Amino acid sequence: MSAYHPVRRVGLVVEDLAEIREWLCDCLRRAFDGMVVVGAADLREARAWLAAYEEGGRSEAELVIALIDIGLPDGSGVDLIRYVAARHPAALPVVTTIYDDDGHLFEAIAGGARGYLLKDLEEDLLIDYLRRIEGGEPPLSPSIAHRILAHFRKPPPGTTETDRLSSRETEVLALLSKGMTVAETARQLGLKPQTVASYVKLIYQKLNISTRAEATREAIRRGLA
Amino acid sequence: MAVVVVFIAVRQPWLGLALSYDGSAGGAAVLRSAGPGAAIPAGTTLLAIADGVDRLHFVPDDFTIEPAGSIGTYENHGIFLARQERLSRILATPEVMLDDAQGRTWTVSPRPSRPFTSLPADFWVQLFVGLFAWLIAAGIWAFRTGETGARYLLLSGFSTLMFAPLAAIYSTRELALPATLFRTINDLNFLGGSLFAASLLSLLLYYPRRLAPLWVGKAIVGVFVVWFVAQELGVFESMTLARRLLVMIAVAATFFAAGLQWRITRADPIARAALQWFLLSWVVGVAVFAVFILLPQMFGIDTSAFQGYGFLLFLLVYGGLAFGILRFRLFDLGEWWVRVLGWIATILILVSLDLIFLLVLDLSTSASLALSLLACGLLWLPLRGWLWNRFLAPRVDERVLFENVVRVALSPAGGDQAAQWTQMLRELFDPLHIAPTEDEGSAAIEQDGLGLVLPSLGEIPAMKLEFANGGRRLFTRADLHLAGELIAITRFTIESRSAREAAAVAERSRIASDIHDNVGARLLSALHSRDASRKDGLIREALVDLRNIIDDATRPGMSLAEAMATLRRETADRLSARDIRLEWPVESVGPQEEAGTVLHTLRSIVREFTSNALKHAEARTVRVAIEVAEGHAINLRIEDDGVGFDPHATTSGNGLSILRRRVAAQGGSMAWSTPPGGGTRLVVAFPARKEDDAA
């Protein structure tokens, strides 16, 4: 990321519990110097803010990160993640959750999330993870790695070569799915940890592209698009 | 018998003419011509027949089909037979002259024998009727030798075998038979018919209920035999009267006996059901024959041309009898009986097809056998199967049945379940009466098919069903089989459901105890902790526990490898933050099998050990190995190279001492030791899981 930002960087926190929302906002401010942080209690508030942001003010402020809870009172945060990923490609949608069950997380990553964070992390650790995600080092738990592997193992008909995982990416996923850390994986493959992290980032993107293509194909098949 | 009949029929000389007396033309009209007489065109009226010695003008009686019914008197019969003798002598000569109405004379050289193909369809019909009747009657008698009814049935079958094929010989003769032969077979045919009428009447005196003393039946047969002898001796002047009157009286008496049986069996569904079919097939078939073939003859109407086909009615009679046995256990015989007969019939058909191919197509033995097997396989067996399914197999919509069974099995135990079960039985068997009874353990037919007893199923009591189809039929083996299937499916579904419910209860109690033991204990500790950072740590641990409990509950099929991978990653992250090395080969995280009940304990032990290593041990390396041995026995070895600690010195509130109790509760063992070079080693072993411990 470039060190110089001519406009003000904005972070969005969508979280229904007020204490946690405040805490996450604090963490964002601490992680990214000079960031303007906006809190929203539900999807409706978040959408209203995004609409206003899209109307104008983009020249002065730029949305760079959005921490979104999955279970919101008026719907699923995954919908909002899809929206942000599609309309604001420069922003990083990040899932903040209390439960790391792979079903929801996989769906969120496929929807365009660039990372996920557990809300019971210690503050320093959370800030560290936030910086890493922003630096292109998204986390990937063994069970998520497992699921992504399974997803790419049976590519739907019509997938192009670019939708698929490279053999290196598959290797990385396989080791992560067995419970190895990024550092251990790097050592095992004779790579730098940063390289492994960049593979993880690519895997995130490919999952998103692959599932989006799948959804489009399905829509075409059903005559919806 | 059949072979003798066919033999006699084909041994007669053959002109190749199909003749019929034409009253207006005053001679015999040629309907079709073939073989030796092919030169004579159809439509020619032949007036006389002659050889070198004898010459005869045709008279109408020469072409009569059934002399007993149309010739009138015994005097006429004598004249008729004398002319038949002269005709057959002419036919036996090498050259026969036929004079037609135009004055032409046709010379024909008769073949010494008739080809099979010239025997008309009604010949075969009569032959087949005789054989079929005999097969059924003998088949019933063979299994019920002691019963009076079966004996008379046997007699009727025997008499049918006598009268139908014998009638076939003379009623389909080309022109004439030698007088002695004609007279013999014609008389025997009458004897057969008499015995048939007598045996039918006698049968109804004893079946299904006995109406008269045993001597009455014998006396009836005796009267018919005496009558036969009397008419042979020339006591009667009118042949029509002699040969028809007594038979018609017997048929009338049969109706009377049938009516009597019907009245008497009013209160007895078994006998009624049997009689119903018996009467329908037997009496109706015979009565139609008597009314349309025999009765008109008494009034001088010649119906003999239809007599051959009229015998088809007897096919209906015996076919109906066989059907009655199947559906209503006539003579207390069941499906198996028809199978036996079907088997015999198949063999007969195979042999006769073989003979036909051999004779007609002039094939070699092996080729004809192959052809008849082919015909049998392609035509007869599928037809037989189709007939079986169409008429005899009970038709039950299996999908609806399955839905019903599942509904019964899955409905809440108690009143409703038994009611639904009863309802289903009602729809299936339509019994007159259904009531709980004593449990006998398995389904059974009682009182020869009057009742069907079903065992109890879970909460559903044992049931006794009485009078199937509203009393119109009896319970059969097929019903018993169906009931057996129903019970098996229902029992299986109920048991599966109970097992599932038990598993769900076990799972719920496991979740409850996990929440109580882990989350509850940690939150309580956090509540009373005065140290803020310790408070936070305890709450985080409670959340981790909560997450695991939810994980286990939402993904019960998670493999041990998957669970251990997550644990390995978590442990590696925790240790690497403090620069402690983890040696946990990814290969040893366990195979792809279901994690089972000990997973939670295993995970807690690794976490607790790691926490201790981080806090107190000053370790540089932590080593973990998990092995799954034979029969799901799990061994965990975890060690560090720290300062070591005395497990006995730890307080009772220590996490590991809580875990020790849990391991013991799950049948496992925990052992502390010091590895070479110092540190702490913990070995935990869980024994092989028992099969029934799947929950």
At B21, is the pLDDT very low, low, confident or very high (cuts 50, 70, 90)? confident
Say if the Cβ atoms of A179 and B555 lie within 8 Å: no
Q: Residue B35: its pLDDT value, please? A: 82
Residue B667, SS3? coil
Model ipTM value:
0.83
Q: What are phi and psi of B169, to 5 degrees?
A: -65, -50
Q: Residue A94: its pLDDT value, please? A: 93
Q: Residue B647: its pLDDT value, please? A: 59
| Closest-CA distance of chain B to residue A209, Å | 26
Chain B residue with CA closest to A184: the answer is B572
In a 13 Å sphere around the CA of B597, the CA atoms on its Cβ side amount to 24
Is it the case that residue B253 has pLDDT exceeding 80?
A: yes
Q: What is the mean pLDDT of residues A85-94?
A: 91
Q: Which of B568, B586, B614 has the most A C-beta neighbours within 10 Å, making it the best mutation to test the interface with A? A: B586
Q: What is the mean pLDDT of residues B495-507?
A: 85
Cβ of B2 under 8 Å from any chain A Cβ? no
Q: Residue B283: its pLDDT value, please? A: 65
Burial of B104 (0-12, 13-18, 19+ CB in 10 A): exposed
Residue B335 contacts residue B325 (beta carbons within 8 Å): no
- Spatial distance between the Cα atoms of B300 and A65, rounded to a whole number of angstroms: 115
Q: Which residue has the higher pLDDT, B108 or A164?
A: B108
Is it the case that residue B452 has pLDDT exceeding 50?
A: yes
Mark out the alpha helices in B207-334 (DSSP H runs): 214-232, 239-264, 269-278, 284-289, 295-298, 304-310, 312-328
The model's pTM is 0.49
pLDDT tens digit string along B82-113?
Answer: 888 888 888 888 888 888 888 888 888 888 88
- Spatial distance between the Cα atoms of B37 and B32, rounded to a whole number of angstroms: 9
Structure tokens at B682: 């913990």
Name which of B242, B248, B245, B249 is nearest B228 in CA terms: B242
- Spatial distance between the Cα atoms of A18 and A25, rounded to a whole number of angstroms: 10
Is it the case that residue A91 has pLDDT exceeding 80?
A: yes
Burial of B123 (0-12, 13-18, 19+ CB in 10 A): buried
Structure tokens at A47: 């959408």
Burial of B462 (0-12, 13-18, 19+ CB in 10 A): middle
A48: CB partners within 8 A, 6+ apart? none
Say if the Cβ atoms of B589 and A178 lie within 8 Å: yes
Structure tokens at B453: 């007893």
At A1, is the pLDDT very low, low, confident or very high (cuts 50, 70, 90)? very low
Is it the case that residue B114 has pLDDT exceeding 80?
A: yes
- Spatial distance between the Cα atoms of B29 and B205, rounded to a whole number of angstroms: 49
Q: Residue B40: its pLDDT value, please? A: 86
DSSP state of B290: I
Say if the Cβ atoms of A142 and B562 lie within 8 Å: yes
* R_g (Cα) of chain A, nearest Å: 18
At B695, is the pLDDT very low, low, confident or very high (cuts 50, 70, 90)? very low
Say if the Cβ atoms of B564 and A179 lie within 8 Å: yes
Residue B154, SS3? helix
Residue A8 contacts residue A63 (beta carbons within 8 Å): no
Q: What is the mean pLDDT of residues A177-197?
A: 90
Distances from the Cα of B458 to the Cα of B48, B66, B228, B463, angstroms: 90, 70, 69, 13
pLDDT tens digit string along B139-189?
Answer: 888 877 777 878 888 888 889 888 888 888 888 888 888 888 888 998 899
- Spatial distance between the Cα atoms of A103 and A71, rounded to a whole number of angstroms: 13
| Closest-CA distance of chain A to residue B643, Å | 26
Q: What is the 3-state secondary structure (H, E, C) of B497-541?
A: HHHHHHHHHHHHHHHHHHHHHHHHHHHHHHHHCCCHHHHHHHHHH
Cβ of A101 under 8 Å from any chain B Cβ? yes
Is the torsion defined by CA of A171, A172, A177, A182 positive or negative?
positive
Is it the case that residue A14 has pLDDT exceeding 90?
A: yes
Q: Which of A140, A177, A188 has the most B C-beta neighbours within 10 Å, making it the best mutation to test the interface with B? A: A177
Please write down the long-range contacts of B185-190, taking CB distance under 8 Å and 24 or more positions apart: B185/B8, B186/B67, B186/B68, B187/B232, B188/B162, B188/B163, B189/B68, B189/B162, B189/B163, B190/B68, B190/B163, B190/B228, B190/B231, B190/B243
Mark out the alpha helices in A69-192 (DSSP H runs): 77-87, 102-110, 123-134, 142-153, 167-177, 182-189
- Spatial distance between the Cα atoms of B33 and B22, rounded to a whole number of angstroms: 16
| Closest-CA distance of chain A to residue B601, Å | 19
- Spatial distance between the Cα atoms of B423 and B409, rounded to a whole number of angstroms: 13
Chain A residue with CA closest to B555: the answer is A101
Q: Residue B272: its pLDDT value, please? A: 72
Percent of all residues in chain B with a pLDDT value above 90, rounded to a whole number = 2
B-chain residues near A177 (CB < 8 A): 565
Mark out the alpha helices in B361-397 (DSSP H runs): 365-375, 381-387
Residue A11 contacts residue A67 (beta carbons within 8 Å): yes
A-chain residues near B561 (CB < 8 A): 178
